[in-house]
């Protein structure tokens, strides 16, 4: 029997707890915000993992730890089976070249005073090996032109400034800069949510085409479930720093299990042609991550709450192949008979 190939990215028991302090001169720690609390998942080469959940559930904090911009409180992140913790100097630069990012607001990664061709060239040079840095200008210019074409822009647009582009085009430039060092993984944090609905589909299709050409993997953070359904091979649903459900995307949309996911997906599934879903209203606000509810964090809002839900934290368990749920409703649902 063949062993499973090593995933490109492995996230194991990841936690990020921020100290919550009061006072300016003599600050006291009043508690910890458990922004990410025991999160594990894998991303395979050339695949997309969707990360969804309401605002504040820990999506960006998870992404920032993967980008090595934030140090985990606990847990490990491995790229190609190599832990990323403690990387420094050239090893850290090599990691940054392999794991790039595109954010919701392309302005965050574009310098308004720099022609976009130069921004893309800088990404190429900063991330290149020493030999490449010595490479001649003509080669760099050729690669910039190639990248602009790959993202559907004209090579001559290298001479333009960011303000001369539309929002959708600026996001394409940010993508070209991210693609410059030929990354293995791109973190896409809400990549289409700032774009007009009419051009979202174009951007999603472009991302998919690039993935097919370059075998790049994506970690896709998105509020919009239609984007996740269109793009992601696997989906992870988070609530107050924890994973409540993870599954292959098709399996998740065909057979939503966790009450929180059902509520989140409800409006979308009701609108889906051929689906007879009962709409579950997501009542109330997300509780504070500083003082999350005991037991199941979702018990204060769950329409199926049972006495044990406020006392015992449910464990994430596999209920069908590749499909895991953390909910007491599935405590006795074993693989195959769920
Ligand atoms: N540097 C920080 N210091 C303290 N708390 C933080 C910090 N960064 C994030 N948090 C808190 O951690 C929690 C998770 O935040 P995060 O930005 O990861 O959420 P998110 O899922 O990306 O939300 P959104 O959908 O709004 O982008 C929030 O309660 C947030 O206030
Ligand atoms: S464990 Fe209980 S409160 Fe939590 S989602 Fe399941 S039924 Fe609802
Ligand atoms: Mg965020």
CA distances from 314 to 297, 301, 311 (A): 9, 15, 10
pLDDT in tens, 74-103: 999 999 999 999 999 999 999 999 999 999
The closest alpha carbon to 63, from 191, 175, 219, belongs to 219
Residue identifier of the C-alpha nearest atom 2 of ligand 1: 18
**Ligand 1 contact via 20 beta carbon (within 6 Å):** no
pLDDT reading at 160 higher than 60: yes
pLDDT in tens, 169-223: 999 999 999 999 999 999 999 988 888 888 889 999 999 999 999 999 999 999 8
Half-sphere exposure of residue 280: CA atoms within 13 angstroms, side-chain side: 18
Please report, rounded to a whole number, the percentage of residues in the chain having pLDDT higher than 70: 91
Ligand nearest to the CA of 242: 1
Rounded to the nearest 10 degrees, what angle do helices 137-150 and 116-127 cross at? 110
**Which pLDDT does position 136 carry in this prediction?**
77
Rounded to the nearest 10 degrees, what angle do helices 167-179 and 116-127 cross at? 20
The closest alpha carbon to 78, from 61, 57, 99, 93, belongs to 99
pLDDT in tens, 262-277: 998 886 665 555 555 5
The closest alpha carbon to 95, from 105, 85, 103, 104, belongs to 85
Give the Å distance between the CA of 30 and the centre of ligand 3: 24
**Which pLDDT does position 334 carry in this prediction?**
61
What token pair was written down for 157?
């647009």
**Ligand 1 contact via 104 beta carbon (within 6 Å):** no
pLDDT reading at 258 higher than 90: yes
**Ligand 1 contact via 29 beta carbon (within 6 Å):** no
**Running DSSP on this structure, what letter comes out for residue 333?**
-
pLDDT in tens, 128-142: 655 555 567 888 999
pLDDT reading at 47 higher than 80: yes
**Ligand 1 contact via 57 beta carbon (within 6 Å):** yes
Give the Å distance between the CA of 61 and the centre of ligand 1: 6
**Ligand 1 contact via 63 beta carbon (within 6 Å):** no
Among 301, 325, 327, the mutation site with the greatest number of ligand 2 atoms within 8 A of its Cβ is 327
**Which pLDDT does position 155 carry in this prediction?**
97
Half-sphere exposure of residue 197: CA atoms within 13 angstroms, side-chain side: 2
Strand partners, 323: 320
Strand-pair category, 99-103 with 185-189: parallel
Ligand nearest to the CA of 303: 2
**Which pLDDT does position 99 carry in this prediction?**
98
Give the Å distance between the CA of 61 and the centre of ligand 2: 25
Instruction: State how far Cα 180 lies from the chain centre.
Output: 20
The whole-chain average pLDDT of the chain stands at 90
Segment among 23-27, 106-110, 154-158, 227-231 with least mean pLDDT: 23-27
Neighbour tally for 231: CB within 10 Å: 23
Per-residue pLDDT, averaged over 236-261, amounts to 95
pLDDT in tens, 18-34: 988 877 766 777 788 99
**Running DSSP on this structure, what letter comes out for residue 93?**
H
**Which pLDDT does position 336 carry in this prediction?**
47
Per-residue pLDDT, averaged over 50-70, amounts to 96
Strand-pair category, 74-79 with 82-83: antiparallel
**Which pLDDT does position 134 carry in this prediction?**
55
Q: What is the dihedral of CA 155, 156, 161, 167, to 10 degrees?
A: -50
Q: Which residue has the higher pLDDT, 29 or 238?
A: 238
CA dihedral (46, 96, 14, 64) positive or negative: negative
Q: Which residue has the higher pLDDT, 192 or 310?
A: 310
pTM of the entire structure?
Answer: 0.92
What residues contact 194, with CB distance under 8 A and at least 6 apart? 104, 105, 167, 171
**Running DSSP on this structure, what letter comes out for residue 277?**
P
Per-residue pLDDT, averaged over 104-121, amounts to 90
298, 244 Cβ separation under 8 angstroms:
yes
**Ligand 1 contact via 18 beta carbon (within 6 Å):** yes
Q: Which residue has the higher pLDDT, 200 or 38?
A: 38
The closest alpha carbon to 105, from 23, 188, 3, belongs to 188
pLDDT reading at 288 higher than 70: yes
84, 10 Cβ separation under 8 angstroms:
no
The closest alpha carbon to 22, from 290, 294, 287, belongs to 290
Per-residue pLDDT, averaged over 46-53, amounts to 97
Ligand nearest to the CA of 314: 2
């Amino acid at each position: 029997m063949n062993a499973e190939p090593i995933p490109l990215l492995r996230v194991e028991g990841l936690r990020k707890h921020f100290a919550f302090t009061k006072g300016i001169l003599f600050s006291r720690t009043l508690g910890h915000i458990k922004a990410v609390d025991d999160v594990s998942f894998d991303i395979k080469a050339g695949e997309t993992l969707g990360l969804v959940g309401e605002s504040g559930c820990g999506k960006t904090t998870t992404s920032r730890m993967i980008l090595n911009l934030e140090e985990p409180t606990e847990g490990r992140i491995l790229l190609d089976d190599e832990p990323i913790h403690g990387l420094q100097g050239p090893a850290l630069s090599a990691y940054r070249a392999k794991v790039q990012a595109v954010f919701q607001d392309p302005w965050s990664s574009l310098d308004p005073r720099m022609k976009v061709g130069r921004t893309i060239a800088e990404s190429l040079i900063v991330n290149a090996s020493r030999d490449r840095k010595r490479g001649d200008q003509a080669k760099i210019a050729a690669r910039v032109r190639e990248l602009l074409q790959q993202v559907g822009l004209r090579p001559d647009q290298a001479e333009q400034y960011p303000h001369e582009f539309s929002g959708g085009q600026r996001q394409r430039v940010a993508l070209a800069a991210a693609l410059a060092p030929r990354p293995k993984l791109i973190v896409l944090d809400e990549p289409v949510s700032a774009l007009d609905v009419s051009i979202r589909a174009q951007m999603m299709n472009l991302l998919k085409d690039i993935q097919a050409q370059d075998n790049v993997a994506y970690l896709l953070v998105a509020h919009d479930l239609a984007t996740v359904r269109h793009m992601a091979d696997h989906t992870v649903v988070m609530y107050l720093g924890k994973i409540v459900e993870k599954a292959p995307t098709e399996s998740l949309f065909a057979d939503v299990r966790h009450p929180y996911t059902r509520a989140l997906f409800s409006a979308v599934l009701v609108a889906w042609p051929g689906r007879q879903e009962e709409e579950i209203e997501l009542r109330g606000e997300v509780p504070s991550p500083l003082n999350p509810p005991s037991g199941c964090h979702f018990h204060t809002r769950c329409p199926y709450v049972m006495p044990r839900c406020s006392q015992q934290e449910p464990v994430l368990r596999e209920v069908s192949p590749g499909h895991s749920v953390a909910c007491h409703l599935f405590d006795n649902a074993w693989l195959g008979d769920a």
